[in-house]
Amino acid sequence: MQVIEQGHLASSIEALFDRRFHVRRSGSTLRTELLAGLTTFFVMSYIIFLNPLILATPGAEGSGIAGLEISATTTVTCLVAGVMSIIMGLYANKAYALAPGLGLNAVVAFSLVGQEGLTYPQAMGVVVAEGIVITVLVLAGVRKYVMDIVPLELKKGISVGIGLFILFIGLVNGGLVRQGTGTPVEIGTLRGAPVLVTAVGLLITLALLARGFRAAILLGIVATTVFAIVLEEALQTGQFPDGQAQVPSSLVSTPDFSLVGAFSFGFVGELGIWVAILTVFAFMMSDFFDTMGTMVGVGSQAGYLNERGELIDAQRPLLVDSLAAMAGGVVSSSSATTYIESSAGVAQGGRTGLVAIACGVLFLLAMPMAPLVEVVPTHATAPALIVVGWMMMSVLSEREDVTGDGRRVRTRGIDFTDIEIGLPVLATMMLMPLTYSITNGIGAGFVVWMALKLFRGKARQVNPALWVISLAFLVYFLRSFLGVAS
Give CA angle at 397 (100, 317), nearest 5°. Answer: 35
Are the C-beta atoms of residues 278 and 326 closer than 8 Å to each other?
no
Number of Cβ within 10 Å of residue 112's Cβ equals: 28
How confident is the model at residue 412, as a pLDDT?
63
Bigger pLDDT: 248 vs 393: 248
Note the pLDDT tens digit of each residue in 180-216: 777 888 888 888 889 999 999 999 999 999 998 878 9
Bigger pLDDT: 476 vs 91: 91
How confident is the model at residue 485, as a pLDDT?
47
Nearest in space to 309 (alpha carbons), one of 317, 291, 297: 297
Are the C-beta atoms of residues 120 and 436 closer than 8 Å to each other?
no
* 107 pLDDT more than 50: yes
Residue 388 CA to residue 156 CA, distance in Å, equals 16
Q: How many helices (H) and strands (E) does the chain have?
A: 20, 6
- Burial of residue 261 (CB within 10 Å: 0-12, 13-18, 19+) is exposed
Residue 398 CA to residue 400 CA, distance in Å, equals 7
> How many CA atoms are closer than 13 Å to the CA of 465, on its beta-carbon side?
8
Q: Which amino acid is at 305?
A: L
Residue 125 CA to residue 268 CA, distance in Å, equals 9
Note the pLDDT tens digit of each residue in 6-47: 555 556 777 787 888 988 888 889 999 999 999 999 999 999
Say which residues have a Cβ less than 8 Å from residue 188's Cβ, sequence separation at least 6: 174, 175, 176, 177, 178, 195
E strands, 306-462, are: 336-338, 399-402, 408-411
- Percent of the chain at pLDDT above 70? 91
Q: Where are the alpha helices (DSSP H) in 243-272?
A: 267-271
How confident is the model at residue 293, as a pLDDT?
67
- Percent of the chain at pLDDT above 90? 50
* Helix (H/G/I), strand (E/B), else coil: 305: strand
How confident is the model at residue 16, as a pLDDT?
80
Hey, what's the torsion of the CAs at 143, 149, 152, 155, to 10 degrees?
-60
Question: For the chain, which residues make up each domain, given as ranges?
Answer: 21-413
How confident is the model at residue 309, as a pLDDT?
64
Output the pTM of the full model: 0.84
How confident is the model at residue 224, as a pLDDT?
95
Rounded mean pLDDT, 105-124: 94
Fill in the DSSP letter of residue 311. B
Residue 436 CA to residue 169 CA, distance in Å, equals 9
E strands, 127-274, are: 177-179, 185-187
Are the C-beta atoms of residues 386 and 107 closer than 8 Å to each other?
no
Nearest in space to 391 (alpha carbons), one of 256, 478, 294, 278: 294
How confident is the model at residue 366, as a pLDDT?
96
Note the pLDDT tens digit of each residue in 256-295: 999 999 999 999 999 999 899 989 988 888 777 667 768 8
Rounded mean pLDDT, 220-230: 94
Confidence at 407, pLDDT banded by 50, 70, 90: low
- Burial of residue 404 (CB within 10 Å: 0-12, 13-18, 19+) is middle
Bigger pLDDT: 406 vs 237: 237
Number of Cβ within 10 Å of residue 253's Cβ equals: 18
Strand pairing partners for 275?
A: none
Note the pLDDT tens digit of each residue in 137-191: 989 887 767 766 778 788 888 888 888 888 998 898 898 988 877 788 888 888 8
Give CA angle at 186 (182, 188), nearest 5°. Answer: 130
Q: How far is CA 247 from the centre of its chain?
A: 29
How confident is the model at residue 411, as a pLDDT?
58
How confident is the model at residue 419, as a pLDDT?
93
* 466 pLDDT more than 80: yes
